[in-house]
Structure formats: C-alpha cells, structure tokens
C-alpha cells in the first residue's frame, strides 16, 4: 500500500540507546497495520512474532505508531523519494476513466487490506490474465515529475518505480523480471488503481513459512535467499530502492519444483540516489541500526540488512529483534545445525556498522550461495 508518515518511536529509542539525531526522527510505515515492532520479546510466537504486530512495550503499555505527521503530497516527490526525474524512455500508461477500468478488468475477491488501501484479485477480460488490483486513496499517493515525450508530467511514484523495475521486459510480457509487472494503471479522481501481474499459484513468504511449520531448512532458505539477493541487485541496477523488503513483500511462485521469488509492493520505494536518506519508509522491525542511531541510512546497506532480517526469520521462525535496543546492540545467532557459511552470510548482512556490511555484489559471490 502507499506510505504514510507517522512519528517514529523516538522516545522509546532514546530510552534504549544513545543516538545523535540532528533532526526529529520520523518513520513512515507502509502497508499492513500489523507491521509494528514488538516490545515484549516473550509475548508473541511464530507468525505473530515474525510480523511483530502487538506493539506492546516492556512496561505493558500499548504503543502503536500513528500517522500524526504525514508527509505533504506535492507534485514532485520529496528528496528521500529521489528527486531526479525518471528517464524519458519510461512510458507509463495513464488512464483516468473508471468506465475504461471496468471494461478492461473484472474484479473479484480481496487479497489483502491495510490502513491505506486494498488489493483484490481479478482478471483481464480480453484474455483472462490473472491480475492483482491495488486501490490507493489519492491522499496517500506520492507523485513525482518526470519527462514524457519531451514534457514534464506528474506521475505517481509507485508507477515510476514499477516501470523502472520492469525495464527490459518484452512489451506486454509478464513474469520475466524480479518485480511483478505493472500491467495497467488508472489515475482516478479519488484513487490510484494499479493493475499488477498475479502469478498463480503463489503465496507471500510469510504464508509460505506458515505452511511449513514456521521455518524452513537451510538448503531451501539458500534457494530463496539466492534469488532474493539477485532480485535486489536487479532492481538496484535499474535505479530502484525498494526500502521495505520483508516476508510479506516477497511472493513465492509454486508452479514448479523450485520456488520462484518475486518482489511486490513498491509503495515505500524511491528512485535510487547517492548518499544518505534522512526520512525512513518501511517496517520498524526491519529498519537498520544506523537509522535509530543517526537518523539516516543508505540504500545498499539497508537492503542488505533487510535481507539479513528476513533470512533469520526463514531459518529461526521469528524475527531477530524485538526492540530498538536489540536492533542497535544485539548480535543474533542461529542455533546449532547451520553451516559455517550460512552463519557467516547472516553475519555479513547484520553487521551493525553499515560500512562493514557486504554489498549485494559481495553477497552474490558468497560461498554459501554456490
């Protein structure tokens, strides 16, 4: 779903670690309302712990983050979403007629719902192509200026990112890129409607784990992580920073013997840029320690950190961190039974120092993925 600003729990963080924030720390949380950091390590197990949904503090007080400090929706995206216009070769399709949407697509049952929008299953009427139809309230849509046919136009940021992530695919094709394909989009008066590829059969990685008892074995985790690292490297090479890689945003296609990984939900993403970001978008439990310490982060190290958090959840059955203090100070370890290369790969991802983490290119060459 679309991102929405809210006060990051700075007061909680300041009680648990020393950080030098030059400006107020703000985090913009995406997607489902359950993506909150669990404060009580023993309160949640398996799925509820992985999704970090309770938001309980160690003192027992309920403390949910709320959207009290929303970012303004300006014609151009903010600096932290990437200020540069997308290349003129991008050619997203814009349709603003609801009747046209209904003529082209048949909408069916809901696939998921969050605070800022809903996703429904559906079909393209012309050829019965399965699609996912994502509705985002206009107030929650970020726009950016980009060059189209020699003119600067106002285009939804998520459309730009999906177009960039899908660059190189054959026109009209689906299933050939790491990111799900944007099939169509409709910029209506009160909402943005994205029509996306819907692989069948497929489930998100969180549901995939649930069906396997909450975690998977190392050999299967290696198959998934290799694809995830390659997928993250692919979209980064295309100038896209996903910014919210987590279990719920990874789709697992199950139409063959080997599960295939696809990235979904670019609602927290931005155009890749050099240097640091000073406003966080994503899920707190997957946010790297440098954000809580300094109020800034960079694309490459953040992506690698999020891959490490996800990898730990695959193997252990729960997220590695329950509090800000743990994110900043705890060094999670897998139990016995995992190979040295597996342990080393995780260590390289979850290095507390951003500069000490492996790059995506280094991870691709790590012996664990051989």
- Other C-beta atoms within 10 Å of 211: how many? 10
pTM: 0.81
Which H or E element spans position 162? helix 157-165
The one-character DSSP state at 88 is T
Residues 157-212 pLDDT 10s: 999 999 999 987 766 678 889 999 999 999 999 999 999 999 999 999 999 999 99
Token readout for 326 is 């743990």
Q: How far is CA 170 from CA 33, 175, 206, 238, in A?
A: 36, 10, 30, 16
Which H or E element spans position 252? strand 250-253
Q: Give the catalytic positions in this structure.
A: 244
What are the residue ranges spanned by the domains of the chain?
Answer: 79-197
Among 269, 333, 278, CA closest to 303: 269
Distance CA 199, CA 254 (A): 9
Residues 174-187 pLDDT 10s: 888 999 999 999 99
DSSP line for 259-302: -EEEE---TT-EE--SS-BSSEEE-GGG--HHHHHHS-B-HHHH
Q: Are 123 and 131 in contact (CB under 8 A)?
A: yes
Q: Domain 79-197 belongs to what topology?
A: Phosphorylase Kinase; domain 1 (3.30.200)
Mean residue pLDDT of the chain comes to 80
């Amino acid at each position: 779903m679309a991102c929405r600003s809210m006060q990051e729990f700075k007061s909680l963080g300041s009680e648990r670690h020393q950080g030098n924030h030059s400006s107020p720390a703000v985090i913009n949380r995406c997607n489902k309302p359950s993506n909150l950091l669990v404060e009580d390590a023993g309160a949640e197990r398996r799925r509820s712990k992985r999704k970090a949904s309770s938001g309980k503090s160690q003192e027992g007080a309920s403390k949910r983050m709320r959207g009290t400090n929303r970012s303004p929706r300006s014609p151009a995206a903010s600096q932290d979403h990437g200020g540069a216009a997308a290349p003129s070769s991008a050619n997203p399709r814009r349709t603003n007629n609801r009747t046209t949407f209904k003529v082209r697509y048949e909408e069916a049952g809901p696939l998921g719902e969050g605070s800022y929008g809903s996703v429904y299953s559906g079909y393209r009427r012309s050829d019965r192509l399965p699609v996912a139809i994502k509705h985002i309230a206009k107030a929650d849509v970020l726009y950016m200026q980009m060059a189209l046919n020699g003119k600067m136009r106002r285009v939804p940021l998520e459309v730009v990112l999906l177009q960039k992530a899908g660059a190189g695919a054959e026109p009209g094709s689906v299933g050939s890129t790491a990111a799900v394909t944007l099939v169509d989009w409709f910029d209506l008066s009160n909402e943005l409607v994205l029509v996306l590829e819907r692989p069948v059969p497929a489930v998100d990685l969180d549901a995939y784990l649930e069906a396997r008892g909450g975690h998977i074995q190392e050999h299967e985790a290696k198959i998934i992580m290799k694809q995830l690292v390659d997928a993250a490297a692919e979209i980064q090479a295309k100038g896209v920073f996903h910014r919210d890689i987590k279990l719920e945003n990874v789709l697992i296609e199950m139409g063959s013997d080997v599960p295939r990984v696809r990235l979904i939900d670019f609602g927290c993403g931005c155009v890749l840029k050099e240097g640091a970001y000073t406003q966080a978008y994503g899920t707190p439990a997957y946010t790297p320690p440098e954000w809580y310490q300094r109020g800034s982060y960079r694309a490459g190290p953040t992506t690698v950190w999020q891959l490490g958090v996800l990898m730990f959840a695959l193997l252990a059955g729960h997220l590695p961190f329950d509090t800000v203090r743990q994110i900043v100070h705890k060094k999670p370890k897998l139990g016995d039974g995992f190979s040295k290369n597996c342990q080393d790969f995780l260590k390289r991802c979850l290095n507390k120092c951003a500069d000490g983490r492996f790059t995506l290119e280094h991870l691709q060459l790590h012996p664990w993925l051989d």
